[in-house]
Amino acid sequence: MDLNLYAVFAAIMRHGSVSQAGLSLGLTQPATSNALTRLRGQLGDQLFVRSKNGMLPTKFATQMAPIIERALADLQNVAREGATSGTDLADLKRNFTFVMSDLEEALFLTDLIGGLATAAPGVSVEVKPFRSDILQDELELERVDFVIAHLEAAVRNLKNLVSRPMVTLDFVCVTRRGHDAGRGPKGKMLTAIPLNKYLSHGHILVAPDRGGRRGVIDNHLRAIGQQRSVVCSVPHFLSACLLVSETDHIVTLPRQLAERSARHFPMDLFELPFKAEGFSIGLHWLSTRDKDPEHAALREFILTGLSSPS
Provide the CATH number for the domain around residue 243. 3.40.190.10
Residue 230 in 3-state DSSP? strand
Residues 298 and 158 in one domain: yes
User: How does pLDDT run across 13-52, given as a tens digit for each residue?
Assistant: 888 899 888 888 888 888 899 989 999 988 899 999 988 8
User: How does pLDDT run across 116-157, given as a tens digit for each residue?
Assistant: 999 999 999 999 988 888 899 999 988 999 999 986 766 677
- Residue 70's domain is classified under what CATH number? 1.10.10.10
Residues 206 and 262 in one domain: yes
Residue 231 is assigned to a structural domain of this protein = yes
Give 20's Cβ-side CA count (13 Å radius).
10
SS3 content of the chain, % helix, strand, coil (to 5): 45, 25, 30
Q: What distances in angstroms separate CA 5 from CA 83, 99, 151, one per listed residue?
A: 24, 45, 44
Q: Cα(43)–Cα(5) distance, rounded to whole angstroms?
A: 11
Q: Find all residues with CB under 8 Å of 49, minimum gap 6, and list them.
A: 55, 56, 58
Q: Is residue 211 very low, low, confident or very high in pLDDT (cuts 50, 70, 90)?
A: low
- Opening angle at CA 81, ends 80 and 82, nearest 5: 95
Provide the angle, in degrees to the nearest 10, between the axes of the packed helices 18-25 and 4-15: 120
| Strand 250-254 relative to strand 171-176, pairing | antiparallel
Residue 257 is assigned to a structural domain of this protein = yes
Number of domains in the chain: 3
Q: Find all residues with CB under 8 Å of 125, minimum gap 6, and list them.
A: 95, 96, 97, 98, 112, 113, 116
pLDDT of residue 150: 85
Q: Cα(198)–Cα(186) distance, rounded to whole angstroms?
A: 19
Q: Which helix (H) or strand (E) holds 284?
A: strand 279-286
pLDDT above 60 (res 180): yes
For 38, the domain range is 4-84
Strand ranges (E), 82-122: 94-99
Q: Cα(112)–Cα(77) distance, rounded to whole angstroms?
A: 33
Domain finish residue from 63, 84, 105:
84
Residue 51 is assigned to a structural domain of this protein = yes
Q: Find all residues with CB under 8 Å of 303, minimum gap 6, and list them.
A: 164, 166, 283
Give 291's Cβ-side CA count (13 Å radius).
7
Q: Is residue 83 very low, low, confident or very high in pLDDT (cuts 50, 70, 90)?
A: very low
Cβ proximity of 9 and 38 under 8 Å? no
Side chain identity at residue 79, one-letter code = A
User: How does pLDDT run across 231-266, given as a tens digit for each residue?
Assistant: 999 999 999 999 999 999 999 999 999 999 999 999
Question: Which residue has better confidence, 186 or 250?
Answer: 250
Residues 263 and 181 in one domain: yes
Q: Cα(264)–Cα(170) distance, rounded to whole angstroms?
A: 21
- Opening angle at CA 219, ends 214 and 221, nearest 5: 105
Residue 136 is assigned to a structural domain of this protein = yes
Q: What distances in angstroms separate CA 185 from CA 180, 188, 189, one per listed residue?
A: 10, 6, 9
